[in-house]
Amino acid sequence: TTKFTSALDIPVEFVEKNVKLRGKVHHVTEEGLKVEHVPISIPFITSIQRKWQSKGLLLIRLAGVELAPSGMAWLQQELKPNQMVWFQLLGREDLALECFVLVNKGRLFSLCLNEEILRQGLGRAACIEGLAHDSRLYWKLHRRLLRAEVKAWKKKKGIWKEASYSERIRDRISSNKFVETFKQLVNWLRSSVGR
């Protein structure tokens, strides 16, 4: 029932047991998601506690994901202000929490943002900070992320999208030394004729 306003407020046991917490998204920044923790509410106790609860937002990073710039834009578009999310605590680094973030998409379906970003090709899989690399949970989650990344790679989505044949030819021609020298000669001729 306690409202956490800082990553340091969250007990170490919660992080070690990978507890899931609930919160409202306030905004998406380059450092991660700014989320207001929403504690479990018990009618009478919650109304009393609200009077003493301090304000503050938790900084949540998507564990195991290295975002591309297009991934940041996708997150800003996908997550609306005050949208409820669940975040599973995997680790804590300074004032940031490494988490798997889940968004409800209907009554029975929830979407893991970490996996979806990789599935769309909007980032790369990375080490999951905060979890021991020899733990079963680490490898279970890391395998999920790698599978999502492979799907994007196979479908050539996002950062895995290959340039078309004509784009590759154009890039090769424009980077050719002979073409560059010819462009310099043309520019020199234009400037000398203009004098």
How many Cα atoms are found within 13 Å in the side-chain-facing hemisphere of 185? Answer: 6
Residues 6+ apart with CB under 8 A from 85: 22, 23, 24, 25, 33, 35, 79, 101, 102, 103, 113
Alpha-carbon gap, residue 105 to 85, rounded angstroms: 10
- Cβ contact 75:7 at 8 Å: no
- The whole-number pLDDT of residue 44 equals 56
What is the predicted pLDDT for the residue at 98? 93
Q: What is the pLDDT of residue 52?
A: 55
**What CATH number does the domain located at 7-161 have?**
2.40.50.90
CA within 13 Å, CB half, 52 = 6
pLDDT for position 182: 82
Q: What's the pLDDT at 105?
A: 83
Which ranges of the chain have pLDDT less than 70? 1, 41-54, 163, 194-195
Per-residue model confidence as pLDDT tens digits over 71-109: 999 999 989 888 999 999 999 988 899 999 999 887 788
Token pair for 154:
């196979």
Residue 117: what pLDDT? 94
pTM to 2 decimals? 0.73
- Encode burial over 142-155: b for 16+ CB neighbours within 10 A, e otherwise: bebbeebbebbeee
Single out the residue of 20, 18, 58 nearest to residue 37, CA to CA: 58
First to last CA, the chain: 80
Check residue 160 and give left, alpha or beta (phi > 0: left; psi -120 to 50: alpha). Answer: alpha
pLDDT score of 195: 64
Q: Which residue has the tokens 């504690």?
A: 39
Q: Where in the chain is the domain with CATH 2.40.50.90?
A: 7-161
